[in-house]
Amino acid sequence: MRKALPDRPSVLLVISGGIAAYKALDLIRRLRDRGLGVRALMTKGAQEFVTPLAVGALTGGKVFTDLFDREDEQDVGHIRLARENDLVVVAPATADIMAKMAGGHADDLATAVLLATQSPVLIAPAMNPAMWAHPATQRNVATLSADGVNFVGPARGEMAEAGEAGVGRMAEPLDIVSAVLDVIGPHQHATRLAGRRVLITSGPTLEAVDPVRYIANRSSGKQGHAIAAAAAAEGALVTLVSGPVGIPDPPGVTVIHVESARDMLAAVEAALPADVAVMAAAVADWRPAKPSRGKIKKDGTGKVEPLQLVENPDILASIGRHHTLRPTLVIGFAAETADLVRNAKVKLKAKGADWILANDVSEGSGVMGGDDNTVSVVSAAGVEAWPKMTKADVAARLVERIAAALPRRREAAE
Ligand code: CTP
């Protein structure tokens, strides 16, 4: 019987010897961000690429390396190691370890544990495209699939070897986390956005006039950050691209700090693909055409040079009309001081969004910088006016709507 860990789901990460082993460090951090416990086991080959010290610093525990280590065996033992987890992940999985798994070998700690485990196994292959395409590897993939092993990747892309490209690159850590939540999610981590990638913008953007001055929009970031926190609490993999704000980063969220609208657009595009985009930032519509390298000085005559402005890119429209990577659900806001719903409908169409959350930001509404918000959700289906509530409640309700609107994933609960 496999011992169920009562407090939180736990993953045994087997790191085998490939250049992608360095990505295992990021993977550990991201798994722990999702609230999962991580124990690591390294093959001899893996230790040529990253050290057990580095891996242990990230797991916060002992790293297992040797089948015949007396201390390890007395301490935990390979059979307990194989059983005391909810999932075994092999990342990177080399062609060699896959061959050993397919053949039922058990001549080192990693293969012994993989043979002894009764937990689900997920592997992230990483190898040269020729090795991946080789009939022997493909036979092993078929055998392992038939044995019930789950796969994530490999992806197509450039290899570590200069100039080589093809299928064989290890899946990105975020995709592996997504696959992990897919496998254990329905049983252990039943949250409504488990494994979904949600991309959020928040806060203002600042557009430099010179090294000391800028133009910006008024925005506290409270609403966007609350949505990021609510999505993460539902198990989503959240990337929050935030302009400068005075509030802390939400927990369990990958935060990218930017300053200008152009930087925000670049960060948003780099964070694709995503299942959902919520563009809550108050992006400055214009920027100074020629920001000055040096501080602009007053000339003492009282004359002021007019500031030439150019329009900034529209981030929501770029995502809503993205040719290849448009998220399934694209959500924007409309900050209005008049004709709320009419203007929101125009923005919905113009920016290719699925929903627009329209809010009245006129003076006296208290929305800018405040803790409450009154929104109307405008979509092709019509207009739904929500009562005044806290920004945290708006976030929770929006996340609920998002979870209900996304197409259901393959049911892993069978
Ligand atoms: N937005 C954006 N990039 C811009 C401007 C706006 O992504 N350069 C997004 C905002 O994050 C919001 C939506 O577009 O989700 C609407 O923003 P809003 O400020 O209400 O409207 P604008 O498009 O700026 O139009 P206007 O200022 O004329 O009302």
Q: CATH number, domain at 210?
A: 3.40.50.10300
Give CA–CA dist 161/154, Å, rounded: 16
Same domain? For 141 and 206 the reply is no
pLDDT surpassing 80 at residue 67:
no
Say if 222 falls within a structural domain.
Answer: yes
Within-domain flag for 376: yes
What's the maximum distance between 2 C-alpha atoms anywhere in the chain?
Answer: 86
Both 206 and 167 in one domain: the answer is: no
Same-domain status, 172 and 72: yes
Local confidence band at 408 (pLDDT 50, 70, 90 cut-offs): low
With a cut of 70, say whether residue 391 has pLDDT above it: yes
**7 has pLDDT over 90:** no
Instruction: Judge if 105 and 139 occupy the same domain.
Output: yes
Q: Which is catalytic among the residues 140, 217, 359, 373?
A: 217
Enumerate the H helices of 260-354 as residue ranges: 261-271, 315-320, 340-350
- Asked if the structure places residue 31 within a domain, the reply is yes
Query: 181 lies in a domain?
Result: yes
Q: Give the residues across from 15 on adjacent strands.
A: 42
Among residues 188, 220, 254, which one ends one of the domains? 188
The residue segments making up the domain with residue 355 are 197-291+307-413
284 and 167 together in one domain: no
Using one digit for the tens of pLDDT, what is the confidence trace for 152-178? 999 988 766 667 778 999 999 989 998
CB neighbours of residue 310 within 10 Å: 10
Segment 266-289 mean pLDDT: 97
Report if residue 124 sits inside a domain: yes
The rounded radius of gyration (Å) of the Cα atoms in the chain is 25
Nearest CA to ligand 1 atom 24: 285
Ligand 1 proximity of 356 Cβ (cutoff 6 Å): no
Confirm whether 299 is domain-assigned: no
CATH of the domain at 155: 3.40.50.1950
Q: Between 73 and 11, where is the model more confident?
A: 11
Give domain status of residue 99, yes or no.
Answer: yes
With a 6 Å cutoff on the Cβ, whether 333 touches ligand 1 is yes
For 34, 47, 148, the CA distances from 120, given in Å and listed in that order, are 19, 25, 8
Report yes or no on 349 lying in a domain.
yes
- Regarding the beta carbon of 316 and ligand 1, being less than 6 Å apart is answered yes
To the query of whether residue 217 is one of the catalytic residues in this protein, the response is yes
Number of domain units in the chain: 2
